[in-house]
Homo-oligomer: A and B are copies of this chain.
Amino acid sequence: MAVQTVASTSPTDSPADSPAGSSGSAEPSLGAAVALSCRECGTRTALGPHFVCLECFGPLEVAYELPAGDPAGLRERIEAGPASMWRYAPLLPVPADVAAKPNLNPGFTPLVQADRLAAELGVTGGLYVKDDSGNPTHSFKDRPVAIALEAARAFGLTTLSCSSTGNLAGAVGAAASRAGLRSCVFIPDGLEQSKVVMAAVYGGDLVAIDGTYDDVNRFCSELIGDPLGEGWGFTNVNLRPFYAEGSKTLAYEICEQLGWRLPDQIVIPVASGCQLVKIDKGLRELIALGLVEEKPYRIFAAQAEGCAPVSRAFKDGSDVRPVKQPDTIAKSLAIGDPADGPYVIDICKRTGGAVDDVDDAQIVDSIRLLARTEGVFAETAGGVTLGVTRKLIASGALDPALSTVVLNTGDGLKTLDAVAPTARPSAVIAPSLAAFRDAGLA
């Protein structure tokens, strides 16, 4: 059987090192994953809880030996799989029996054919909302966490952790509880109440840090290097190469749900940028494996004006400069120093896409538009993505005659405050027909 590999930035032919992990556990069984590979220099290292290349300090990613040569057979195998992201297990760094292990089984969320929204926006080429609020903890984060959990189990780690703007904290807490692992998650103080409650309710430890998300992230990097962090798996730090692969499944699902076709255009919100990079990787894997027919596609990135380092760099043609004090209602996107920012710009340029941003009022208006037209209640990040989509249509950067997929990565119930002032009863009345008639709503 032939073997296909796709790297995020460039393919590499370096041989894998010994596949034994360095944590002292038994040889990990992580499916088609064969090594970690540096996204900058291509150097390979063994599978393990590592995230930095020891040669050049570049970020590591998972390298695979993917099944190839029989696309029809692989499509059939996927379609016969479970109604979760595990239908793509052959393309992921997870053990073959992953669906039988205690985990949240996320994914295979609806791709909503958004005809009423399309009519409002003048999109004629087909408009779809990939609605990831349907995941177990109601954000896309359940996907990467499910992969990180398998890595943690394979490497014998005992505490699951993360730095989080809220959604990830809930996803880690829930996944750890299901799996019977301890969890201890870190968030910036002052997040939305619903995200704080959700991060705490699963019974693990929740630590609020007096600082921004970037402060939380730096703290976690320190903790990993300290004996205090021994045996800890930080989903988005030392397990990041595995974690990050979870977002590939969004690409797989979109294409399968479109009838194994690539969309023409995808609009993706950017926090760290990791999700966008991995969706691009997923699309290229599908092409390389022959699961979809190759054709051009454009990737667009969406940020909130109050934390738009990637958008500003894209527009200025400059490097990505960190935003020190994010100020936006889209707190899940408020990462001032996005690790994958430069990769996002590369991908948007390479595919003919763009990066743009919208302000808080546009975010709220887009949340309401999506709810009113399609019955999808998005969190603020979803409002950012739809808001930028509208802006890109208006500017001509996004072609309304092409098929377009917009991501909703989270749930409106988690960012209630954004719409609470306007989403209220039309009237409060006594229980009588006369009172109802007087209210003028009949």
A180 proximal to B (CB < 8 A): yes
Min CB gap A161→B, angstroms:
11
Decide: A203 and B371 in contact? CB cutoff 8 A: yes
A2 proximal to B (CB < 8 A): no
A430 in contact with B209 given A134-B136, A184-B441, A197-B423 (CB within 8 Å):
yes
A interface bracket (residues with beta carbon within 8 Å of B) = 35 or more
A216 proximal to B (CB < 8 A): yes
Min CB gap A201→B, angstroms:
4
Stretch at the interface among A219-227, A347-355, A390-398: A219-227
A115 contacts which chain B residues (CB < 8 A)?
A: 102
Task: Please pick, from B83, B174, B414, the residue contacting A108 in the complex, using a CB distance under 8 A.
Answer: B83
Decide: A375 and B177 in contact? CB cutoff 8 A: yes
A174 in contact with B375 given A425-B206, A431-B219 (CB within 8 Å):
yes
Stretch at the interface among A33-41, A188-196, A234-242, A325-333: A188-196
A196-219: which residues lie under 8 A (CB-CB) from chain B? 196-198, 200-203, 205-211, 215-216, 218-219
Task: Please pick, from B196, B203, B229, the residue contacting A424 in the complex, using a CB distance under 8 A.
Answer: B196
A318 proximal to B (CB < 8 A): no
Decide: A375 and B178 in contact? CB cutoff 8 A: yes
Decide: B413 and A138 in contact? CB cutoff 8 A: yes
A377 in contact with B202 given A416-B193, A416-B194 (CB within 8 Å):
yes
CA distance A432 to B209 in the complex (A): 9
Decide: A200 and B429 in contact? CB cutoff 8 A: no
Decide: A180 and B116 in contact? CB cutoff 8 A: yes
Decide: B436 and A218 in contact? CB cutoff 8 A: no
Task: Please pick, from B134, B207, B439, the residue contacting A207 in the complex, using a CB distance under 8 A.
Answer: B439
A433 in contact with B375 given A425-B200, A428-B189, A441-B184 (CB within 8 Å):
no
A374 in contact with B228 given A196-B425, A197-B419, A414-B413 (CB within 8 Å):
no
A110 contacts which chain B residues (CB < 8 A)?
A: 105, 136
A430 contacts which chain B residues (CB < 8 A)?
A: 209-211
A104 proximal to B (CB < 8 A): yes
CA distance A201 to B110 in the complex (A): 20
Decide: B207 and A426 in contact? CB cutoff 8 A: yes
Decide: A193 and B432 in contact? CB cutoff 8 A: no
A175 proximal to B (CB < 8 A): yes
A131 contacts which chain B residues (CB < 8 A)?
A: 136
Decide: B223 and A433 in contact? CB cutoff 8 A: yes
Decide: A368 and B208 in contact? CB cutoff 8 A: no
Decide: A427 and B207 in contact? CB cutoff 8 A: yes
CA distance A427 to B419 in the complex (A): 29
Decide: B208 and A104 in contact? CB cutoff 8 A: no
A433 in contact with B206 given A177-B371, A423-B201 (CB within 8 Å):
no
A413 contacts which chain B residues (CB < 8 A)?
A: 138, 194, 198, 411, 413-414
A336 proximal to B (CB < 8 A): no
Decide: B177 and A428 in contact? CB cutoff 8 A: no
A424 contacts which chain B residues (CB < 8 A)?
A: 196-197, 200, 206
A442 proximal to B (CB < 8 A): yes
A173 proximal to B (CB < 8 A): yes
Decide: A216 and B431 in contact? CB cutoff 8 A: yes
A90-129: which residues lie under 8 A (CB-CB) from chain B? 102, 104-105, 108, 110, 113, 115-116
A372 proximal to B (CB < 8 A): yes
Interface pairs (23), CB distance under 8 Å: A138-B411, A174-B375, A177-B373, A178-B374, A198-B412, A200-B423, A200-B425, A201-B419, A201-B423, A202-B371, A202-B375, A202-B377, A203-B368, A207-B425, A207-B426, A207-B427, A208-B425, A211-B430, A215-B431, A216-B431, A228-B433, A228-B436, A228-B442
